[in-house]
Structure 1
Amino acid sequence: MSRAAALRAWLIADTPLSRRQARLGRLYLQWLTFRHNWLAVAGLAVSLLLALIAIAAPLLATHDPSAQNLDIRLQPPGATHWLGTDELGRDIYSRIVHGSRITLGMVVAVVVLVAPFGLVVGCAAGYVGGWFDRIVMRVTDIFMAFPRLILALAFVAALGPGIENGVIAIALTAWPAYARIARAETLAIRGSDFIAAARLQGASALRLIFAHVAPLCLSSLIVRVTLDMSGIILTAAGLGFLGLGAVPPSPEWGAMISTGRRFILEQWWVATMPGIAIFVASLGFNLLGDGLRDVLDPKQT
């Protein structure tokens, strides 16, 4: 038997001999399920490609994204400038490549801020219950009563334009959804026998929440985070389009569309190319999220 066949047999063994073998075997089976969904694999490929572009942006860009040359302004796509130039003669391809860093940076920053906070707040509210649960849920109701972009605009208007303030504004509007998911999962888990057994053994509420409840909520949270990434991209682009996101001359995709809308009829590439970048990135994360939901959500058939 080859090493690959032996490894596969070890991963799919009916009786794992250790926790490590059981976890790796579960991940392998999930990957087998995931790869049969070709749309999900395409979403994963797009997401990884976008991450690689952002990491290697200085190497992939053919021009300085901020270099202006009015002699070549509004040139159509060609051999020298693959996606054309904008109204200041800047290379659109290079600006899109560097703009992927800003967009993905904002997405990662929002997820890092929001996901742990929403998980902790939702698990605590669902486990503790009572007045604490009611207060937390009413606060989430208030935040979710407003459209995300409108609420983010209000926060950015108060904080001022900029990438950091944009991240804070989007994070303030995104956390309620994660808290509600974590609370719903906690309500289904807290009455389980293993929670009662751990409580009888003297486990504190904090230990029950962080060691037993929160890990079981991660699957649903990961799916929600992946699906929500496209919404974060669109919100960040919306803030940039309205001049409240990245400050010029930063090559932010929404700001590029905003400056290019004046030329949309004649020099269509100025606004269309960053729009296509937003569309592809959002579609990739949505397809990836759908695939992860089929794999990680136990309620999916």
Structure 2
Amino acid sequence: MSVMGNTTPPPLAEPQLSRREWLLSDRPTSRTQAKLGRAYVAWRRFAENRLALIGLIIILALVLVAISADLLAPYSPTIGNLATARLLPPSWEHWLGTDDQGRDILSRLIYGSRLTLYVVVLVAIIAAPIGLLIGTVSGYAGGWVDAVLMRITDIFLAFPKLVLALALVAALGPGIENAVIAIAVTSWPPYARIARAETMQVRNSDYISAVRLMGASPIRIVLRHIMPLCMSSLIVRVTLDMAGIILTAAGLGFLGLGAQPPLPEWGAMIASGRRFILDQWWVAAAPGVAILLVSLGFNLLGDGLRDALDPRSSGQ
């Protein structure tokens, strides 16, 4: 007679979660899962806005055109045929016509997208960190530090952005680099105001108090715990400001204070084409439409990011 041993049933296998369920889990098992889950929720909220997707497509197209300018441009952006190709209307050979120097306008627009991205990216890299640092330090320190930094900010805000940029470029001299510096100097005050408001909301929260009790220095609190909380609002504001940056750069180029000839800057192209606006309208219309589309794309993208990164604005 055989003795049957005690057997225990095998443990039930845990159900395999789908990728979507794993991202949307309310009990993440790691910090990576939590970050990916937040990013996925933000993307779903962003994708629900069709206009925001259109803006994203426009900006991605701008980036691809700028990267592939050497492959896409059919002609040189700076060398034209003044004898036989001056002010030609749009045709199969020159899709957007030619300018007063016999240069292909489509090629100049394609290469001009690089200058547009160059200005936008550099201004964002310079102005946003400056505004973030000044705003968070002002909001966390308070007292006389807050008063001094905010009065400096008010001085910059008191001047119209374009007027102040014109004054700075006139002092520094014309050129694309000086135009970037001038636009960046006039663009940081709104970012400082936003960062200060966000900081004042969280500086007395339990989270910051706990970090302070653990012995963290004020510098560490500002850099590691407060600045990350301000990033979403700052990203939205920077994206919405891109259209204004492009228009300011185009305005400086229109006045001859931005990129200098023969660089294919869109504002300078409009300035050179305004002399022929009645008869050869395409010379000024093509860069004007390009500025309109890119500015519209950044505005639509900024609206979508605002709804995606701030659930309160979307009613969720």
Give runs of aligned pairs for residues 191-206 of structure 1, distance below 5 A: 191-206=204-219
SS of residue paired to 2:295:
helix
Which residue is 2:225 aligned to? 212
Distance 2:258 2:23 in 1: 47
RMSD value, Cα: 1.1
Distance 1:10 1:129 in 2: 42
Residue 244 (str. 1) matches residue 257 (str. 2): yes
Give runs of aligned pairs for residues 170-181 of structure 1, distance below 5 A: 170-181=183-194
* Gap regions ≥5 residues in structure 1: none
Q: For each residue in 1:160-205, what CA deviation from the matched residue of structure 2 results, as whole angstroms up to 9, or x when unmatched?
A: 0001000000001001011111000000010101111111111100
Displacement of 1:298: 4.1
Identity %: 64
Distance 2:214 2:159 in 1: 44
Which residue is 1:23 aligned to? 35
Which residue is 1:60 aligned to? 72
* Gap regions ≥5 residues in structure 2: 1-16
Moved over 4 A (4+): none
Q: Which has the higher helix share?
A: 1
Which residue is 1:36 aligned to? 48
Residue 83 (str. 1) matches residue 103 (str. 2): no
Which residue is 2:162 aligned to? 149
Give runs of aligned pairs for residues 98-247 of structure 1, distance below 5 A: 98-247=111-260
Aligned length, in residue pairs: 298
SS of residue paired to 1:62:
coil
Which residue is 2:281 aligned to? 268
Of 48, 57, 64, 2:60 maps to 48
Displacement of 1:245: 0.1
Distance 1:61 1:36 in 2: 35
Displacement of 1:14: 2.1
Distance 1:297 1:229 in 2: 19
Q: For each residue in 1:34-57, what CA deviation from the matched residue of structure 2 results, as whole angstroms up to 9, or x when unmatched?
A: 111000000001011101111111
Displacement of 1:238: 0.2
When normalised by structure 2's length, the TM-score is: 0.93
SS of residue paired to 2:18:
helix
